[in-house]
Amino acid sequence: MKLISSIAVITLLVTFAACATVPTGPAPSVKDVAGTWTGTFSNARGQSGPATLTAGEDGKWSLSVPSLNIKASGTVSAEQGVLRWRSEDTNRTGTWTLRGNTLVVDSDDGNTKSVYTRG
């Protein structure tokens, strides 16, 4: 009986993991994120502040976090179905994840995370 329960639990976990990785729609394009986004910028030092991210259809973006005296710019591009960004100022890289009207921006090194809504 324990073997059957263990197999059922493993099957359930594998099913949930598979569902979590299946895309729910077409891959986002740079044009999908073009516009002005407002939200909160956070870093690994525990600092956060209101932020404005502006993205162009050409893939160029700029970020402003006045309370932390941060201004940055860079590019975003669609690579293998994922939006990847690079900062011209720090050469840092990461991902942009579009979820409806919410844009989540994560750095690859884990130092920054931001959540924005279209503003």
Kindly list the domain boundaries of the chain, sorted by start residue.
Answer: 30-118
pLDDT confidence band for 96 (50 / 70 / 90): very high
CATH code for the part of the protein at 30-118: 2.40.128.640
Which among 30, 100, 107 is positioned nearest to 61, based on CA atoms?
30
**pLDDT of residue 80 exceeding 60:** yes
Q: How far is Cα 108 from Cα 119, in angstroms, rounded to an integer?
A: 25
- Residue 9 near residue 2 (C-beta atoms within 8 A): no
Owner of token pair 């690859």: 108
Which among 77, 95, 74, 68 is positioned nearest to 29, based on CA atoms?
77
**Residues 6 or more apart whose Cβ sits within 8 Å of residue 60:** 73, 74, 75
**63-68 long-range contacts, CB within 8 A, separation 24+:** 65/41, 68/41
**pLDDT of residue 75 exceeding 80:** yes
pLDDT in tens, 16-38: 444 444 445 678 899 999 999 99
- pLDDT of res. 25: 63
**pLDDT of residue 9 exceeding 90:** no
